[in-house]
């Protein structure tokens, strides 16, 4: 039985959140309606709340956008044309549905689709509500062994899988990951699941580094502070040389996965990479940073970015979590009820290093 109205957690304006009652709308023939069970908070949710924009995606007052996009749930209604799914199925939700018809979609690059409808990306509503409606081929049945918290965190695992896909990881690779937040940690875990021979996590936080060393990283490295009179180039060369020496990287790392977005980490990563290494930028920091382009050019560095996920990534993430090759439960440090959603957001905003992943239970 589907309620005629449902509760939602809504961004009303920058720095203004509210609970609202939304009217339940009919679904399309190819949609399913999901009763949301669990939702993880992503940094992008907090960024829209505090800043109102991420790059070209701008929240404007009056949009009244439901937040959230890392979710799982139970199907409560299916459209007439839905195949392979039924009411009662437990699913992980892929929160971005592309147009399917443009050249990018047809090439499997649907994460670049200009007509993508992505949960909690302006102006599209997200998943922090009792119900979320989505195209049926963008939900994935989960095995009985996977609980709803794990299924919700398939979404950030998919981001990590996409990063590793862009890096074309191999078992012989020595990988350095900058950033030990949720995405950095999961990227380290996916790299280990793929058999990479050495995975090193870098961060400035002792707590995050301790967590990383007990989670998936083979080694961790605390980024030192820059000396008062030290140039960016001198610092990057000094730190990269120290990492190479400490972890026996020889001419450098085979792969740099940058998940912090911090300018010094990007610069160190370029000097740390060996010639023709693969460098994937995933962290979003300042819009413009100083980049050591000559060093990258001389090394013929294979630099690329990574955003969301492309064709085939979500099913891989489901399998990695279901098999236990990537364990997501240890990342959950704080749990809240739906009614405590604003408190949960405040906690994430505080940026405490002992908080890794915050999850919100769905409306009961």
Q: Which residues pair with 290 in a beta bridge?
A: none
Domain locations in the chain?
A: 5-153+328-361, 161-305
pLDDT at 55: 84
Report the pLDDT value the prediction gives residue 85, as an integer from 0 to 100.
Answer: 98
Per DSSP, the residues of 150-162 read HHHTHHHHHHHHH
Domains 5-153+328-361 and 161-305 share a fold: no
Residue 16 CB partners (closer than 8 Å, separation 6+): none
At 35, list the tokens: 């009763």
Q: Comparing C-alpha atoms, which of 178, 222, 223, 219 is closest to residue 196?
A: 219
User: Rg of the chain over CA atoms, in angstroms?
Assistant: 21
Task: Identify the residue whose tokens are 């443009």.
Answer: 102
What per-residue confidence (pLDDT) applies to 1? 84
CA–CA dist 358, 346 (Å, integer): 11
State how far the Cα of 127 lies from the Cα of 338, in Å rounded to an integer.
12
Q: Give me the pLDDT at residue 302, please.
A: 98
Say which residues have a Cβ less than 8 Å from residue 141's Cβ, sequence separation at least 6. Answer: 85, 89, 90, 91
Give, as one character, the DSSP assignment of residue 168: T
Is 156:42 a contact under the CB 8 Å cutoff?
Answer: yes
Segment holding 22, helix H or strand E: strand 16-23
**Segment (H or E) for 148:** helix 148-152
Q: What is the pLDDT along the chain (364 residues), one digit of tens a residue?
A: 899 999 999 999 999 999 999 999 999 999 999 999 999 999 999 999 999 999 889 999 999 999 999 999 999 999 999 999 999 999 999 999 999 999 999 998 999 999 999 999 999 999 999 999 999 999 999 999 999 999 999 999 999 999 999 999 999 999 999 999 999 999 999 999 999 999 999 999 999 999 999 999 999 999 999 999 999 999 999 999 999 999 999 999 999 999 999 999 999 999 999 999 999 999 999 889 999 999 999 999 999 999 999 999 999 999 999 999 999 999 999 999 999 999 999 999 999 999 999 999 999 9
Q: Rounded distance, CA 302 to CA 277, Å?
A: 6
What are 25-55's pLDDT values in tens digits?
Answer: 999 999 999 999 999 999 999 999 999 999 8
CB atoms within 10 A of CB 206: 11
Rounded to 5 degrees, φ, ψ at 326 are: -120, 115
- Name the pTM for this structure: 0.97
- Taking the C-alpha atoms of residue 106 and residue 75, their distance in angstroms, rounded to an integer, is 28
Question: In angstroms, rounded to a whole number, what is the distance separating the alpha carbons of residues 83 and 225?
Answer: 56
CATH number of 161-305, picked from 3.40.190.10, 3.40.605.10, 3.40.50.720, 3.40.50.300: 3.40.50.720
Q: Please, which residues have CB within 8 angstroms of residue 208's CB and are 6 or more apart in sequence?
A: 180, 181, 353
**Domain 5-153+328-361 sits in CATH 3.90.180.10:** yes
The gap from C-alpha 250 to its chain's centroid, in whole angstroms, comes to 31
What string of DSSP letters covers 208-249?
Answer: HHHHHHHHT-SEEEEPPPPPTT--HHHHHHHHHHHHHHHTT-
């Amino acid at each position: 039985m589907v309620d005629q109205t449902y509760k939602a957690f809504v961004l009303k304006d920058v720095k203004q959140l509210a609970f609202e009652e939304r009217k339940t709308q009919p679904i399309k023939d190819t949609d399913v309606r999901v009763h949301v069970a669990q939702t993880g908070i992503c940094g992008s949710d907090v960024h829209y709340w505090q800043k109102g924009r991420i790059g070209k995606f701008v929240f404007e007052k009056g949009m009244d956008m439901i937040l959230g996009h890392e979710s799982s749930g139970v199907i409560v209604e299916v459209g007439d044309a839905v195949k392979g799914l039924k009411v009662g199925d437990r699913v992980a939700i892929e929160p971005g549905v592309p147009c399917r018809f443009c050249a990018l979609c047809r090439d499997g690059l649907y994460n670049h689709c200009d007509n993508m409808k992505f949960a909690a990306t302006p102006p599209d509503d997200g998943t922090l509500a009792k119900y979320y409606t989505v195209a049926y081929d963008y939900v994935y049945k989960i095995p009985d062994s996977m609980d709803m918290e794990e299924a919700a965190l398939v979404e950030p695992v998919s981001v990590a899988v996409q990063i590793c896909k862009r890096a074309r990881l191999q078992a012989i690779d020595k990988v350095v990951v900058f950033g030990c937040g949720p995405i950095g940690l999961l990227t380290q875990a996916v790299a280990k699941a793929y058999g990479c021979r050495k995975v090193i996590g870098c961060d400035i936080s002792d707590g995050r580094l301790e967590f990383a060393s007990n989670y998936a990283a083979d080694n961790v490295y605390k980024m030192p502070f820059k000396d008062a009179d030290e140039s960016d180039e001198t610092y990057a060369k000094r730190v990269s040389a120290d990492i190479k020496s400490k972890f026996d990287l020889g001419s450098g790392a085979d792969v740099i996965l940058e998940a912090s977005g911090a300018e010094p980490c990007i610069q160190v990563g370029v000097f740390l990479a060996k010639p023709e290494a693969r460098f994937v930028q995933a962290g979003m920091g300042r819009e413009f940073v100083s980049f050591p382009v000559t060093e990258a050019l001389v090394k013929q560095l294979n630099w690329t970015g990574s955003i969301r996920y492309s064709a085939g990534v979500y099913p891989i993430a489901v399998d990695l979590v279901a098999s236990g090759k990537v364990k997501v439960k240890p990342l959950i440090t704080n749990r809240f009820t739906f009614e405590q959603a604003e408190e949960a957001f405040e906690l994430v905003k505080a940026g405490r290093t002992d908080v890794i992943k915050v999850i919100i239970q769905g409306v009961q």
